[in-house]
Chains A and B, each alone.
Chain A
Amino acid sequence: MTEMTRIVKTIANILFPFTMIFGLYIITHGHLTPGGGFQGGAVIASGCALLLVTYGSRWVLTRIKEKRLAAFESMGAIGFITIALLGIVFSMVFFGNFLAGSNLLFGNVPATGSTLADLNTGGVLPLMNFAVGVKVIAGLFVIILIMSYASSIKEWGQ
């Protein structure tokens, strides 16, 4: 796709950081509030699709290559299964939550009763949300990127 006008570029520049922050919020708070890795990844991929429609696929492909997006997708899957296998090592169960209650990363014990939500809880669940988020962002964005780039190749006759 070719570039859009300056009005569209200005609006996209304003809206893109808010979309990113909302998606990262959904991924980060996945174990406390509705949402999670897939939903936040879909929101961030929507923001990247806005950038792609505004600036064109050639501009985006000069910033990030599709091979790198494929590597990110594989890294998400490998991170997810690695955390699941570390559960066997540390707590004898596949998908074992070995970080919960250990006072390390995401290891606080949640307080009982009606208190404010503590982000630093959940054990391995936030790490798995991050892995799924990276996989979904790369996977959904590379589909639209390659499709748009192939369409522009046909249009420009190269």
Chain B
Amino acid sequence: MGVEFLVANTVMLILTVIAAVITVLLRDLLAAAIALAMMSLLLSLEFFILQAPDVAIAQAGVGACLSTAILIIAIKGTKRMEDE
């Protein structure tokens, strides 16, 4: 565990938290779903850095693709913008 491990770990965690905050703050639900997919992809990279490639593949497949597809279909069936 060298210094590059620490730097990559810290940068990836900060980006994950930033993506999560963006997801909460956005009023456009479609953009929020895309930001959630970005958070999930960064989380999967974090799993890969922590030497769990098994969990990383599952997170990238289910979290970043399938749950985003389900959310987008649900948004298509309801409303795009969040109410005040």
Contact surface of A with B, Cβ cutoff 8 Å: 1, 26, 34-36, 38-39, 42-43, 45-46, 49, 52-53, 140, 143-144, 147-148, 150-151, 154-155
Q: List 13 A-B contacts (CB under 8 A).
A: A1-B73, A34-B53, A35-B57, A42-B62, A42-B65, A43-B57, A45-B66, A49-B65, A49-B66, A140-B66, A143-B70, A144-B70, A150-B77
* Chain B residues with CB below 8 A from A155, complex form: 76-77
Asked if B66 and A46 make an inter-chain contact with CB atoms under 8 angstroms apart, the answer reads yes
A35, A150, A155: most-surrounded residue (chain B CB, <10 A): A35
In the complex, what distance in Å separates the CA atom of A118 from the CA atom of B70? 39
| Minimal beta-carbon separation of B47 from chain A (angstroms) | 11
- The reply on B69 being an interface residue by CB < 8 A is yes
Contact surface of B with A, Cβ cutoff 8 Å: 53-54, 57-58, 61-62, 65-66, 69-70, 73-74, 76-77
A49-B65, A151-B76, A151-B77 known; A42+B70 contact, CB < 8 A: no
Asked if A45 and B61 make an inter-chain contact with CB atoms under 8 angstroms apart, the answer reads yes
In the complex, what distance in Å separates the CA atom of A17 from the CA atom of B74? 27
